[in-house]
Amino acid sequence: MLSASTIVLSFGLLFANLAAATPTPRASCGPSFEGGGVSIVAGSVEWSVSSAVAGTALDHTPKNDAAEWHVQQTGTTPPTYLVKDINNNELVVGIGADGLLTLEQIDATKPTQMWAISCDSCSSGASSAPGGKYASGCKIISASTGACAEVQHAGAHISTNQCAPVVAQNWDFGTAP
């Protein structure tokens, strides 16, 4: 018959082995935008709009490193952000009824305009990387739906989709040269 101490020791070793086998979550960081204009880039394309008018869907254009966005922290915990058109800070990126990202009039009560941003790597901030990338491997996640911003095939608008470890949802932030 097994003693109580042997049983306790056996369970202790079992739980220690299970804990050691549990994968550790990847480290992540939140970029410091510092009020500067940014490009939001995935591979060879970046976020853009044909015109700074409410209702305009976001497109992706060939990467040109032109700063087209201001990203502003909302002051919430955990941090969320507004992505504003650089030419009109009253227009922000929101999620339309069809899941497309569109420009909308800013409305602080509208959760579809708030985004969580989690990156694999961040430098100290936008001002530390003039003309370069300062945050990479970022997920841009809707605070209201939990879906991730995603670039689809050529000619498609930027939309949201269930978050997954795919290149189409992997964004970098950079400053204009």
DSSP string computed for 135-154: EEEEEEEETTT-PEEE--ST
Q: Lowest mean pLDDT: which of 59-63, 111-115, 140-144?
A: 59-63
Per-residue pLDDT tens for 55-90?
999 988 888 877 899 999 998 888 999 999 999 999
Average pLDDT estimate for 141-168: 91
Calculate the average pLDDT of the chain: 81
Please state, in angstroms and rounded to a whole number, the distance separating the CA atoms of residues 159 and 1: 63
User: Strand, helix or coil at 10?
Assistant: helix
152 pLDDT higher than 70: yes
- The pLDDT assigned to 4 comes to 41
The set of residues, in sequence order, having a beta carbon less than 8 Å from that of 37 and lying 6+ positions away, is 67, 68, 69, 70, 86, 175, 176
At 172, the pLDDT band (50, 70, 90 cuts) reads: very high
- The pLDDT assigned to 130 comes to 61
- Class of CATH domain 37-174: mainly beta
User: Where does 22-86 have alpha helices with state H?
Assistant: none
More confident residue, 130 or 61: 61
Please state, in angstroms and rounded to a whole number, the distance separating the CA atoms of residues 58 and 84: 12
Please state, in angstroms and rounded to a whole number, the distance separating the CA atoms of residues 159 and 101: 5
- The pLDDT assigned to 125 comes to 65
Peptide bond into 78 cis (omega under 30): yes
Please state, in angstroms and rounded to a whole number, the distance separating the CA atoms of residues 136 and 30: 10
